[in-house]
Structure 1
């Protein structure tokens, strides 16, 4: 598995494993949006689906845009060897997020204050888009919602930044967003049940442990890839030596 594929898979799994946090944090947002729709839409899943989808489409596009920005910022570090530090930071943040979700380190929530200035600037815009009455409005609200302060998004962004390439970083955040899609889309239809489940101790601990496992996988995957490369090179060398003899 090359580094690009590894980055995309890791980002997708991070989004998927963060379901508990997504439902707990975003459930109230999408729940309020869903409940604010006209009864004729809200009570008809087929008519409500485009609205819920557009919320999430806007959110994921914002993630991807943020990934492209951080990838462009960190791209000069490729030749300076600074990306390993970013990768290490992303692993530490994922461990911290896992401990926070599991309820073992509640103080970690303070990291979400990093994005407060941006959200303070965007929040009035989100208020102007309420109540949502059209699919375009749902998309625009989702695009603003994508900048809501979130520790898991920051962990994914640092992981994306460690690629040192704007396109790869953007694709990585797109993969992360797609990983969160099942949980957040489901919340739009099962607001009460999923929000209640996501707040249970066992579910949050499971999500936290899964995210910490992801951090461990990210930590050891380069070693596995390097070992596999060395074995391949050794076999190729033996093959070449045998061919020459």
Structure 2
């Protein structure tokens, strides 16, 4: 599970560099000091990963509270949510009314980020707020955290997701904006397909069709069927 979280983070970091690159370079500011640049980036990245971990804890706790006897419904719900975000990524942004509504939701967070950027050590809070911005790959990781079974597992899943994004994010920040265009790789064009793929997997997982690994029947249900016979 942890290795999956790290891999999702590593994969999503390509998207992060492409989409969040301007924010990273704003956080860097104008400084010739390597240590000043490094400390700003580490505070920013630590804040971002802290937000992910806290969200994972909350969703893991939520998932744990409803999993007893509800694993199938939880998996189906998760799949439907991911399918929704996948379809939204495909067509939602092309509808002006939906795009404007999303902008209204994001604007208060961006304003808070701008406020903390003016503070001497506000980069940690900027990172925390950045972790709350809408992102398809974060939705995918959070959906997985919801199904981990406990608050601790959910928090650890999101922690390793965040750590997976760290190498490329730090590398891009240190190398500079020239890497941004090269690493984007049109990720946003195939990210909806990834969300839809995982959404279908969660739906199949909750459907209990008896397909090994893809849609298995829970042990308890299979055992009950055998005992009834």
If the length of structure 2 is used for normalisation, what is the TM-score?
0.70
Query: In the aligned structure 2, how far is the partner of 1:12 from the partner of 1:212?
Result: 20
Aligned to 2:158: 173
Task: Sort the Cα spacing of 1:76 and 1:96 in 2 relative to 1 into closer, same or farther, 3 A.
Answer: closer
Give the conservation status (yes or no) of the 8 Å contact 2:79–2:201.
Answer: no
SS of 1:26's equivalent in the other structure is helix
* Structure 1 stretches lacking a partner, 5+ long: 1-5, 231-245
Give the conservation status (yes or no) of the 8 Å contact 1:14–1:214.
Answer: no
TM-fit CA distance, 1:190: 2.6
Give the conservation status (yes or no) of the 8 Å contact 2:136–2:191.
Answer: no
Task: Sort the Cα spacing of 1:123 and 1:206 in 2 relative to 1 into closer, same or farther, 3 A.
Answer: closer
Q: Does 2:124 match 1:130?
A: no
TM-fit CA distance, 1:12: 1.3
Aligned to 2:223: none
Task: Sort the Cα spacing of 1:89 and 1:79 in 2 relative to 1 into closer, same or farther, 3 A.
Answer: closer
Aligned to 1:76: 65
Query: In the aligned structure 2, how far is the partner of 1:99 from the partner of 1:51?
Result: 36
Task: Sort the Cα spacing of 1:13 and 1:87 in 2 relative to 1 into closer, same or farther, 3 A.
Answer: farther
* Structure 2 stretches lacking a partner, 5+ long: 206-210, 220-229
TM-fit CA distance, 1:56: 0.4
Q: How does 1:21-32 map to 2 (within 5 A)?
A: 21-32=15-26
Aligned to 2:32: 40
Higher helix fraction: Structure 1 or Structure 2?
1
If the length of structure 1 is used for normalisation, what is the TM-score?
0.66
Aligned to 1:53: 42
Task: Sort the Cα spacing of 1:226 and 1:216 in 2 relative to 1 into closer, same or farther, 3 A.
Answer: closer
TM-fit CA distance, 1:96: 8.1
Query: In the aligned structure 1, how far is the partner of 2:197 from the partner of 2:7?
Result: 11
